Structure 1
């Protein structure tokens, strides 16, 4: 499993309805994208859920590197580049994935928690702790799914979770889910 996210931080007075319309018009384009586990179309709006910014920040879980590369180099990503410029695209290796207690529900919010991989701790222990946290989050009431991924160039661990309501039982930056494309969600490795 591979994870990917880019963040488009927009002006404080940006009309976020533009992003909502964009997702409504184009979100379905990845509903059957080969190699995609899921794409959560995420936004943060200044003043909502503690967000200091307006931001469009979709989060992807990929089943295949080939699918991710096709998206970036041959696919819809060019539309983002054409309309907003070329954002930095963060990529992580997958550590753990779990379907949640509310797996059959529509996701309303996402939580992304970033933390540094601590120095002096064996990496196998870091992975085990991340897997247990993924399982714990997935078991919470209202959890749609949970994943843990790591960027080994920065030694940054990400816990990503989706929730059926706006009262998630997870800490981190909270996003509203506008749409979810999940053609290969059932094939994401646990």
Structure 2
């Protein structure tokens, strides 16, 4: 499993209705994308759910590198680049994935929590703890799914979760989910990725 995210920070007075219309019009285009576990179309609005900014972005869990590369280099990604500019794309190696207590419910919100890997920790134990935390989060009744992944360049772990209602702020940055493409969600490997 491979995790990927990018976002576009927009002006404070940006009409976020433009983003909602865009996703309503185009979001379905990845509903059948080969190699894609999930793509969550995400929105943060300044002053809503604790967000200090207007932001539009996506979070992906990929089953295959080929699917991710076909999206990035096969032409589909050019649309957002043309409209918003070339974003910095974050990529993480999967640590764990779990379906949540609300797995059959539509995702309304997402949470992303990033955590540095401290110097001097035993890596195996830290990664096991991070993977286990995703599994524990998924046991909650309001969680649709939970994942953990690591960026070994920045030495950072990300926990990403989808919720059927607004998550507590303690879970990280809160996003509204505008659409969820999940063509190969069932194929995402469950549990620890090692």
| TM-score, length basis structure 1 | 0.98
Counterparts of 1:132 and 1:85, CA distance in 2 = 37
How many residues are paired up?
190
Could you tell me whether the CA contact under 8 Å between 1:150 and 1:158 is conserved in 2? yes
Q: Distance in 2 between matches of 1:14 and 1:178?
A: 17
Q: Which residue of 2 aligns with 1:92?
A: 92
Tell me the CA shift for residue 123 of structure 1.
1.0
Residue 20 of structure 1 aligns with which residue?
20
SS in 2 for 1:58: strand
Query: Gaps (5+ residues) in structure 2?
Result: none
Q: Which structure 1 segments of 5+ residues have no match?
A: none
Match of 2:166 in 1: 166
Contact preservation (8 Å) 1:42, 1:178: yes
Q: 1:169–1:140: structure 2 CA closer, same or farther, 3 Å change rule?
A: farther
Partner in structure 2 of residue 148 of structure 1: 148
Is the partner of 2:126 in helix, strand or coil?
helix
Matched-pair contact (CA < 8 Å) for 2:37–2:61: yes
1:110 matched to which residue of 2? 110
Quote the Cα distance in structure 1 between the aligned partners of 2:76 and 2:25: 13
In the other structure, the counterpart of 2:43 is 43
Tell me the TM-score normalized by structure 2: 0.96
Task: Report what 2:137 is aligned to.
Answer: 137
**Could you tell me how far 1:141 is from its partner in structure 2?**
1.8
User: Separation in 1 of the partners of 2:175 and 2:185?
Assistant: 20
Alpha-carbon distance between aligned partners in 2 of 1:136 and 1:70, rounded to the nearest angstrom: 33
Which residue does the alignment assign to 1:176? 176
